Amino acid sequence: MGYTQVCSVGDPESPEWKIAWPQLVQDVHKIVETAEVLVSGPTDDKETVTPFLADPNRGIYINGVGSGAHDPFVLRPGQWDAFCQTAHKSYEKVVICILLRAYKLAPESFAYE
């Protein structure tokens, strides 16, 4: 059973989102560092730790590690919506902070549940 994080970008081409996106990607690094939660990036093996992805051209990709992993949170440039089940694992804190930061940067363009 998971806890689902859902978000949507009303218009990925809107001026507000185009300004917010690079700032959000930059802020992901600060969020991960501050959260003090072990996260991983793209990998086929939940036991293997790879650098999380936060790149303005490639997007954001974050998951937990090992038993702390569940569904990856993935948000790419130009993407309209995203969701992942975090199952109350520790990386959920990072995902929620990213969602809150996105909303703070672009309240007219970004929504989350």
User: Given a cut of 60, is residue 1 above it in pLDDT?
Assistant: no
**pTM of the shown model:** 0.91
User: How many other C-beta atoms lie within 10 A of the C-beta of residue 77?
Assistant: 17
Q: How many helices (H) and strands (E) does the chain have?
A: 2, 6
CB 42 within 8 A of CB 48: no
Q: Which helix (H) or strand (E) holds 29?
A: helix 15-35
Residue reference for tokens 């959260």? 35
Longest dimension (CA), the chain: 40
pLDDT tens string 24-67: 999 999 999 999 999 998 887 777 888 999 999 999 999 999 89
pLDDT tens string 52-111: 999 999 999 999 998 999 999 999 988 888 889 999 999 999 999 999 999 999 999 999
Rounded to 10°, the helix 92-105/15-35 angle is 150
Q: Which pair of tokens denotes residue 82?
A: 């995203």
Where exactly are the structural domains of the chain?
A: 39-113
Angle at 25 between CA 23 and CA 27, to 5 degrees: 70
